[in-house]
Amino acid sequence: MPELHVETYASREIASAVAAREVVLQDGTHLRLRRPTSEDYEDIKSFYEELSQESRYNRFNGFVRTDLPARLDAEADGDDRVALAAWRPGRVIAVGNYARLREPRVAEVAFAVADDFQGRGVATQILERLTEIAVERGVDRFVAQVEASNTAMRRVFDHAGFCVREVAPGELLVSLDIPATETTPQPVEEHDQIGLVASLRSVLAPAQADVVPA
């Protein structure tokens, strides 16, 4: 029966979209990584709201409302935007995502980790899984804008082999060619750097309307 076949296929798609992966941090803490659904919106919003002022500023490069990023993560389409949440029982403790840019096959990657879980390898676990998903979907370069003062995320990117360039005082552009992660990351050429920074700013510009004073 065609209807049964379609229903089964849709069920497999839903199951695949939220498939969970159990991970263990170096300190023995068990986490569950999975792609969120629209039903996780309130949990993700609460996670962002519970971040310290410094952590929220580092994540969004400013002070922003939490409803929009929480909605984007909860309703990520799995192609242009992919999100992963790390869970402890009854609580989101980290969210990572990537969003495709106008530059072909390039995506901006970003993370936020609960203050009591920072420095424990959560972001690295999420980055590894996001990299696997990106390869499956034809993305071959990750980039991110990072404040020079954000030492926690700089450590994550340094450990993963990202190349770092200063594009403005206190502002860094980090990049990683995903197929080269097992060898030596390929640096971003100067002309590519200009295009990537422009793409990032064009994507981030609309969010500036939500920036409010500290």
Delimit the domains of the chain by residue range.
21-207
Q: What is the pLDDT of residue 109?
A: 95
- The Cα-based distances of 49 to 20, 112, 115 in angstroms read 24, 11, 12
Q: Which of 72, 92, 93, 73 is nearest to 83 (CA)?
A: 73
| 39/44 Cα distance (integer angstroms) | 10
Residues 172, 178, 184, CA angle at the centre, nearest 5°? 80
Could you please state the CATH topology (level 3) that the domain comprising 21-207 is classified under.
Aminopeptidase (3.40.630)
Predicted TM-score (pTM) of the model is 0.74
Q: What is the pLDDT of residues 104-116, one digit of tens each?
A: 899 999 999 999 9
Determine the length of the chain: 214
Low-confidence ranges of the chain (pLDDT < 50): 1-17, 180-214
Q: What is the pLDDT of residue 58?
A: 85
For residues 161 and 142, the answer to whether their CB atoms sit within 8 Å is: no
Q: What is the pLDDT of residue 22?
A: 93
Q: What is the pLDDT of residue 18?
A: 56
